[in-house]
């Protein structure tokens, strides 16, 4: 156990956070949520400051669209294809650290925030496990099981769960029960470690996700096209579906050579997505029924080292390489059109389009953490990135961050980072656009259809103050962006396309409070943000000419910009076996169409959740953990999206009131 703890400390020493903003959520915090570890990972991260919820399970941190980097025990997990489902299961998390702001040179590629996960370990937990089930409203059934242990030099942790319900994707109407919205999802994760000696550990991390979704229907829509001799179609009877898969495996050698800590890892991640249209319905409503198959296989190499020198310095250096093979195949049924764009025939025909992309990402970094005094630490470094896919692009990125322990209870941090963010490996080529000329899926090709790498300058500063059992934090940031990347749902399938604004500027302020004393623990977060873009310079085919003309000369709000965001919660332990709690989410609303693109804000929303848990101890079967949760206890109906705005394809509403019960039985052996 001491050997494992020492290796964990060595691994932690590889990843600095000097100058950045940090928010930590541990397994006890997750268990205190209304659904406990049955909560989706995006709902866990929404408890951190500056994290905004969107439809389809998306998150926006500090005004960015996605751009999140996930690390598991220090190893970076390549980004998956955009979809609805969550890939990682919170049950595996011992702690998760959200790093954002001015990140040190070690962090690149996806830089809105780093979701740094430390997994549970059989070496720490002993030999045992847990089985349980969560069930309740909207047909929710979620059985799960975890097992962990250690023997000799081996340790392991495995968890898996199955979930199904009737609200897989946000309801496009305010009704309580969505139409055609069933989902079933399977997730699994494993971590196997072997101690080669007291200074060396070999670990294999792996995971699998298989999610299936029905696309919810919006009734009472009017068809826009005729199909053969059919002139009417009930939109409540559409049968569109989407399946998503993710599989990953990572082998990591970690330890110490003399004073140098290291971790070297190789890995592979496969991500796939299949969209199946309702051929007749999609043709009649949208003029196109496209069966879309996407896949991406990423192979990675990562090496990180940390070496102390000169008594008060720590030199950190490393490299990262990723090789992606991505493809998109689409079979689209469309109608022919007349020169004026009207439907020329009610007989559809098929067009096949496809793309193959090879993407290579290479990065090296070097940084020095200098403890100038007991109270002042400076971390400075340089990162070099090269990305080759649609074109070759590269950048040298300086980073500098400082932490000043002004008093025993006051900590000040500040930093600057230059960022280089490659686009996703998804492309709609000029050839694909031209293939649909003179059809009901035709778009105009206004310019550059190849996404560009985003480049930005990021400034961040903050202060944290401890006052007894209270911890208060304030953080401010500003980001000046060239080639700002954004994504939107421009087609009928719930798949995202990348485009660039020529300019971007993002600024904001965050405030956080935590309190822990005796039986009470509580937290409160509030954030202000403004994210603006100007002049669309890639993928202009997604926009109308009037929209492009306005954005070329005027700053507009990004569609995911939300001015005010807040979250908070409180837990009270009545005794060792019984706890009650409440938490909430508040947002001032994402953007929708107004007199100008994204000119209006949706109405604010407030969601209150309640829970109570109790541990029963029976003589015959031992301990049983129970947890009752009420989500959206006030049953307030609210819109996350109105269906209008740049890149917004459909309306989505937040969840209605739901009641859920968890029964869980731990065991040991």
The per-residue pLDDT for range 132-150, each reduced to its tens digit, is: 999 999 999 999 999 999 9
Q: Read out DSSP for 164-203?
A: EES-SS-BSSSSSS-BS--EEEEEEEEEEEEEEETTEEEE
Distance between CA 664 and CA 338 in Å, rounded?
A: 63
Report which secondary-structure segment, H or E, holds 570: strand 564-573
What is the largest distance, in Å, between two alpha-carbon atoms of the chain?
83
pTM here is 0.94
Res. 326 pLDDT band, cuts 50 70 90: very high
List the single range of 22-26, 204-208, 487-491 with lowest mean pLDDT.
487-491
Contact 317, 330 (CB under 8 A): no
Contact 586, 592 (CB under 8 A): no
Q: What's residue 428's pLDDT?
A: 64
Q: What's residue 644's pLDDT?
A: 84
Domains belonging to the chain, first-starting first, are 2-238+250-668 (2.40.170.20)
The per-residue pLDDT for range 498-524, each reduced to its tens digit, is: 899 999 999 999 999 999 999 999 999
Across residues 607-614, what is the average pLDDT? 97
The per-residue pLDDT for range 266-282, each reduced to its tens digit, is: 999 999 999 999 999 99
* Closest by Cα among 45, 135, 143 to 86: 45
Question: 76: buried, middle or exposed (CB in 10 Å: 19+, 13-18, 0-12)?
Answer: buried
Across residues 373-387, what is the average pLDDT? 96
Distance between CA 667 and CA 669 in Å, rounded?
A: 7
Dihedral sign, Cα of residue 90, residue 96, residue 101, residue 104? negative
Distance between CA 566 and CA 509 in Å, rounded?
A: 12
Helix, strand or coil for residue 138?
A: coil
Res. 491 pLDDT band, cuts 50 70 90: low
* Closest by Cα among 536, 554, 532 to 545: 536
Distance between CA 662 and CA 630 in Å, rounded?
A: 12
From residue 157, how far is each of 149, 204, 430, 655 by CA, in Å? 7, 11, 48, 33
Distance between CA 42 and CA 89 in Å, rounded?
A: 10
From residue 17, how far is each of 100, 204, 369, 380, 513 by CA, in Å? 9, 25, 10, 12, 20
The per-residue pLDDT for range 280-315, each reduced to its tens digit, is: 999 999 999 999 999 999 999 999 999 999 999 999
How many alpha carbons lie under 13 Å from residue 105 in its C-beta half-sphere? 29
Cβ atoms within 10 Å of 530's Cβ, excluding its own:
14
Q: Which two tokens stand for residue 397?
A: 């990125």
Question: 357: buried, middle or exposed (CB in 10 Å: 19+, 13-18, 0-12)?
Answer: middle
Distance between CA 277 and CA 351 in Å, rounded?
A: 15
Res. 43 pLDDT band, cuts 50 70 90: very high
Q: What's residue 69's pLDDT?
A: 93
């Amino acid at each position: 156990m001491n050997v494992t703890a020492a290796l964990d400390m060595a691994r932690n020493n590889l990843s600095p956070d000097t100058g950045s903003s940090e928010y930590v959520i541990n397994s006890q915090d997750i268990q205190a949520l209304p659904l406990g570890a049955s909560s989706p990972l995006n709902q866990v991260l929404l408890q951190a400051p500056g994290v905004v919820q969107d439809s389809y399970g998306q998150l926006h941190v500090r005004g960015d669209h996605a751009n999140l980097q996930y690390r598991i025990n220090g190893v970076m997990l390549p980004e998956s294809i955009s979809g609805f489902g969550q890939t990682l299961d919170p049950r595996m998390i011992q702690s998760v650290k959200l790093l954002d702001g001015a990140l040190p040179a070690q962090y690149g590629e996806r830089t809105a925030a780093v979701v740094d996960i430390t997994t549970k370990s059989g070496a720490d937990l002993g030999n045992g496990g847990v089985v349980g089930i969560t069930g309740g409203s909207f047909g929710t059934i979620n059985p799960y099981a975890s097992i962990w242990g250690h023997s000799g030099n081996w340790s392991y942790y495995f968890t898996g769960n199955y979930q199904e319900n009737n609200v897989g994707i946000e309801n496009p109407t305010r009704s309580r029960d969505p139409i055609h919205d069933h989902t079933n999802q399977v997730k699994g994760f494993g971590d196997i470690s072997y101690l080669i000696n007291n200074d060396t550990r070999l670990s294999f991390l792996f995971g699998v996700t298989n999610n299936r979704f029905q696309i919810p229907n919006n009734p009472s829509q009017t068809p826009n096209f005729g199909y053969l001799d059919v002139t009417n179609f009930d939109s409540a009877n559409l049968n569109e579906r989407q399946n998503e898969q993710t599989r990953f495996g990572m082998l990591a050698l970690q330890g110490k050579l003399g004073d140098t800590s290291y971790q070297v890892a190789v890995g592979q991640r496969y991500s796939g997505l299949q969209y199946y249209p309702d051929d007749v319905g999609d043709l009649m409503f949208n003029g196109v029924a496209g069966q879309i198959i996407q896949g991406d296989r990423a192979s990675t190499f990562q090496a990180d080292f940390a070496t102390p020198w000169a008594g008060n310095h720590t030199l950190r250096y490393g490299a990262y390489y990723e090789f992606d093979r991505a493809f998109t195949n689409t079979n689209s049924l469309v109608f022919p059109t007349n020169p004026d764009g009207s439907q020329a025939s009610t007989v559809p025909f098929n067009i096949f389009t496809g793309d193959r992309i090879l993407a290579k990402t290479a990065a090296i970094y070097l940084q020095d953490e200098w403890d100038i005094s007991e109270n002042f630490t400076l971390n400075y470094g340089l990162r070099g990135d090269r990305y080759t896919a649609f074109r070759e692009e590269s950048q040298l990125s300086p980073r500098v961050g400082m932490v000043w322990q002004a008093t025993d209870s006051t900590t000040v941090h500040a930093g600057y980072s230059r960022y280089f963010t490659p686009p996703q490996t998804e492309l709609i080529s000029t050839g694909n656009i031209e293939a649909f000329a003179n059809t009901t899926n035709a778009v105009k090709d206004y310019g550059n259809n190849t996404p560009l790498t985003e480049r930005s300058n990021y400034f961040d500063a903050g202060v944290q103050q401890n006052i007894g059992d209270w911890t208060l934090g304030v953080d401010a940031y500003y980001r000046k962006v060239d080639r700002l990347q954004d994504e939107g749902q421009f087609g009928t399938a719930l798949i995202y396309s990348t485009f660039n604004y020529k300019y971007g500027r993002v600024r904001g302020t965050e405030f956080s409070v935590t309190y822990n004393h005796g039986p009470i623990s509580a937290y409160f977060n509030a954030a202000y943000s403004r994210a603006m873009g100007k002049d669309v310079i890639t993928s202009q085919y997604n926009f109308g000419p009037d929209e492009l003309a306005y954005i070329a000369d005027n700053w507009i709000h990004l569609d995911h910009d939300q001015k005010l965001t807040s979250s908070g919660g409180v837990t009270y332990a009545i005794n060792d076996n019984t706890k009650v709690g409440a938490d909430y989410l508040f947002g001032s609303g994402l953007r929708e169409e107004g007199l100008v693109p994204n000119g209006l804000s949706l109405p604010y929303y407030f969601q209150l959740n309640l829970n109570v848990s109790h541990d029963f101890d029976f003589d015959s079967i031992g301990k049983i953990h129970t947890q009752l949760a009420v989500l959206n206890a006030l049953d307030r109906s609210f819109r996350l999206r109105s269906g209008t705005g740049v890149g917004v394809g459909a309306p989505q509403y937040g969840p209605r009131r739901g009641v859920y019960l968890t029964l869980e039985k731990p065991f040991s052996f």
